[in-house]
Structure 1
Amino acid sequence: MSVTVSSRPSRDKEPPISRLVLWNIDLTLVDVAQVTRAAYADAFEEVTGVPLVYLAPAAGRTDSELFFDFAARNDVDDADETLLPHFIEALGAAFGRRRDLLTTKGRMMPGAADALDALVRLPDTVQTVVTGTIMPNATAKLAAFGLDGRLDLSIGGFGSEHYPKASLIQFTRMRAEEAYARAFAEDRTVYVTDSARDVEAARIGRVRPVAVVSGSSTESQLRAAGARHVLSDLTDPAAVVAAVRAATDGG
């Protein structure tokens, strides 16, 4: 199903205050961890010459941050900023070679498509992503399951930008305001994620977290990180809409 994102208004009108919904991708909308790990391993060894034996926790981290975590855990002493662009390029190529495996070795998280569709129907609401994944790989993950058309990826925040999540959240909100000529106030912006680290990033980025217990973080961890609105999954579109509305209507 293809859903058209909100149209962009003329800039000569007074910008209305609208709602912005930011989505994490991995373990919130899709689970393609097996494919992603294989791409990380290929790219890391190609750039450093060292096999990727020891992984690092990916939740809440960007691909750029993970590269340096991988280097530290696998005793690559000479990893520095000069290697990062080569890793990012190699990662995009390694993931691209595995695009056909996304639907056979991965899955869309239960209820993800219906949740996105339900939020599209909310008035004055725009949806995009804030993810630690580099842009081409993030787009491929969503496109494999038909979710890309439900989001405005042109304003999204991606790991390609080499910023921590809290900064990506703010940059994405400001990009949305510029692109749509609307005000997306901090208290009208939501970050939907499964990660306690992302919930903390939302709080640092001064937007409202809505957490989903679909990743490695427990409900208690998500609440301790600052999530007031926690969903067990995305299978009830009405509950997703209610959580987003409560978070952005002062709850």
Structure 2
Amino acid sequence: MPFPCVKELPISRLVLWNIDLTLVDVAQVTRAAYAEAFEKVTGVPLVYLAPTAGRTDSELFFDFLARNDVDDTDETLLPRFTKELGEAFARHSDQLAVRGRMMPGALDALNAVMRLPDTVQTVVTGTIRSNAKAKLAAFGLDSCLDLSIGGYGSENYPKASLIQFTRMRAEEAYGRAFPESQTVYITESVRDVEAARIGRVQPIAVVSGSSTESQLRAAGAEHILDDLTDPAALVAAIRAATSED
């Protein structure tokens, strides 16, 4: 008995964006929200911070606990922290555009990607969903992205897993194939470049954070931009990274 024909899905390109220091810089507001949520949940002031680049909010929380000598055996701490973090961030949301900034060229970059045929763009970020949306909305960037399929820190998975989950959500939502070879992750952090490699997609690095070009290249980034101010260079990098040649 012959096997029935299986119709292959059309193939599209998926562009994943990191948010912090790639599209926006709202570190001051984020730190204030971390401090409020941490003290509310633990009763201990957040004195000792931790490096944030390429890390999820859940990873940071457990690092905060260790650095500030707080017992981490209470399993209710993380969900309570996540809830309080969202509420604390909402209280400070009016300060995002005042104390933060959109990274140079970010809006033009997103618009350039929107014009690429057969391309969907969303985010993979360590930030919890509500705060990620607020960060982007404060600078009018949210309408350029399909945030319904994004990967967020509230899912409590490492970035490499979030990349794969986001790709699968895109396929389900659009009824199209988004192969690993047609997926890129745009970020400024070494840890994210490494996560892209582990997640089997191509990283495109932007030298807009604390990582140097040499560090990003050593982590596995073949395509590196100084910033996002040249949309043509970004589009060329995306096309090169997803080339079948």
Both structures adopt the same fold (TM-score exceeding 0.5): yes
Q: Deviation at 1:189?
A: 0.1
Q: Deviation at 1:78?
A: 3.8
1:187-202 alignment, distance < 5 Å? 187-202=181-196
Matched, 1:219 2:222: no
Q: Deviation at 1:83?
A: 0.7
Matched, 1:53 2:47: yes
Structure 1 equivalent of residue 4 of structure 2: none
Cα 1:78–1:21 shift into 2, 3 Å = closer
CA deviation vs aligned residue, 1:155-177 (integer Å, no higher than 9, x gap):
00000100000000000000000
For residue 213 of structure 1, what is the amino acid of its counterpart?
V
Structure 1 equivalent of residue 3 of structure 2: none
Matched, 1:204 2:193: no
- Distance in 2 (CA, whole Å) between partners of 1:131 and 1:41 is 20
Matched, 1:138 2:132: yes
Contact 2:55 2:126 in 1 (8 A): yes
Contact 1:68 1:79 in 2 (8 A): no
Contact 1:29 1:112 in 2 (8 A): yes
Structure 2 equivalent of residue 92 of structure 1: 86
Decide which of 162, 165, 171 is 1:168's aligned counterpart: 162
Q: Deviation at 1:82?
A: 1.9
SS of 1:146 mapped into structure 2: coil
Contact 1:130 1:158 in 2 (8 A): yes
Decide which of 214, 219, 238 is 1:244's aligned counterpart: 238
Decide which of 128, 141, 164 is 1:147's aligned counterpart: 141
Structure 2 equivalent of residue 15 of structure 1: 9
- Distance in 2 (CA, whole Å) between partners of 1:127 and 1:162 is 22
Matched, 1:182 2:176: yes
Contact 1:45 1:52 in 2 (8 A): yes
For residue 232 of structure 1, what is the amino acid of its counterpart?
D
Cα 1:92–1:177 shift into 2, 3 Å = same
- Distance in 2 (CA, whole Å) between partners of 1:117 and 1:188 is 19
Task: Structure 2: give runs of 5+ residues left out of the alignment.
Answer: 1-6
Contact 2:62 2:72 in 1 (8 A): no
SS of 2:14 mapped into structure 1: strand
Q: Deviation at 1:80?
A: 3.8
SS of 1:211 mapped into structure 2: strand
Matched, 1:41 2:35: yes
For residue 159 of structure 1, what is the amino acid of its counterpart?
G
CA deviation vs aligned residue, 1:179-227 (integer Å, no higher than 9, x gap):
0000000010000000000000000000000000001111011000000
Matched, 1:156 2:167: no
Structure 2 equivalent of residue 62 of structure 1: 56
Report the aligned-residue RMSD.
Answer: 1.2
Q: Deviation at 1:81?
A: 3.0
- Distance in 2 (CA, whole Å) between partners of 1:201 and 1:78 is 26
* TM-score, normalising length: structure 2: 0.96
Decide which of 106, 117, 134 is 2:111's aligned counterpart: 117
Contact 1:71 1:79 in 2 (8 A): no
Matched, 1:228 2:222: yes
Report the number of matched residues: 240
Q: Deviation at 1:27?
A: 0.1
Question: Which has the higher Rg, Structure 1 or Structure 2?
Answer: 2
Q: Deviation at 1:15?
A: 2.1
SS of 2:120 mapped into structure 1: strand
Contact 1:116 1:150 in 2 (8 A): yes
Structure 2 equivalent of residue 27 of structure 1: 21
Q: Deviation at 1:250?
A: 4.3
